[in-house]
């Protein structure tokens, strides 16, 4: 039994030594490669800065109008300034509101925006401006 153990050791110990030696040289080679490794140089580029005018206003705004087709192409897409202006600015009546006083006591009425406007008995003006929407209402005494 002891003889078989000795034979086993005689085979295994050199085997471990060979494996360890191979590993030692592998690691030493890797360390040598690492110490001589040079960082790749950083790529440096330049961009020429140019001045461009800032477009503060657009001459015309528009809405893309077109019919979707099966192919996903919109052949009729384009800018129609007339329609765009109508869509961007809903018509607002420029005429001022009017309110006729019923008496000389406190009176209140609703502005077009829904804000409640109050007139004191001392109110002598000819118009009142809503603080919410800024719309002027002409007061008729
Ligand atoms: Zn208002």
Going from the Cα of 139 to the center of ligand 1, the distance in angstroms, rounded, reads: 14
* pLDDT, tens digit, 9 for 90 and up, residues 66-120: 655 555 545 555 555 555 455 555 555 567 788 999 888 899 999 989 899 999 9
Mean per-residue pLDDT for 8-17? Answer: 93
Going from the Cα of 130 to the center of ligand 1, the distance in angstroms, rounded, reads: 4
Looking at per-residue pLDDT, the higher value among 59 and 16 belongs to 16
The whole-number pLDDT of residue 140 equals 87
Residue 92 CA, chain-centre distance (Å), reads 31
Going from the Cα of 118 to the center of ligand 1, the distance in angstroms, rounded, reads: 12
* pLDDT, tens digit, 9 for 90 and up, residues 24-54: 999 999 999 888 888 888 888 888 998 888 8
Going from the Cα of 103 to the center of ligand 1, the distance in angstroms, rounded, reads: 22
Candidates 87, 28, 31, 94; CA nearest to 60 is 87
Report if pTM > 0.75: no
Going from the Cα of 20 to the center of ligand 1, the distance in angstroms, rounded, reads: 91
Provide φ and ψ at 130, rounded to 5°: -70, 135
Going from the Cα of 93 to the center of ligand 1, the distance in angstroms, rounded, reads: 13
């Amino acid at each position: 039994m002891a003889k078989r153990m000795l034979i086993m050791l005689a085979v295994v110990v050199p085997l471990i030594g060979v494996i360890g030696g191979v590993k030692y040289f592998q690691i030493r080679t890797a360390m040598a490669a690492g110490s001589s490794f040079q960082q790749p140089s950083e790529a440096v580029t330049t961009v020429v800065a140019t001045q461009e005018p800032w477009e503060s206003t657009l001459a015309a705004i528009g809405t893309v109008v077109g019919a979707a087709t099966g192919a996903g192409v919109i052949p009729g897409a384009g800018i129609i300034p007339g329609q765009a202006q109508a869509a961007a600015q809903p018509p607002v009546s420029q005429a001022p509101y009017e309110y006729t006083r019923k008496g000389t006591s406190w009176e209140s009425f609703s502005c077009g925006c829904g804000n409640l406007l109050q007139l004191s008995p001392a109110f002598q003006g000819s118009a009142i401006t809503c603080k919410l929407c800024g719309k002027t209402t002409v007061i008729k005494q």
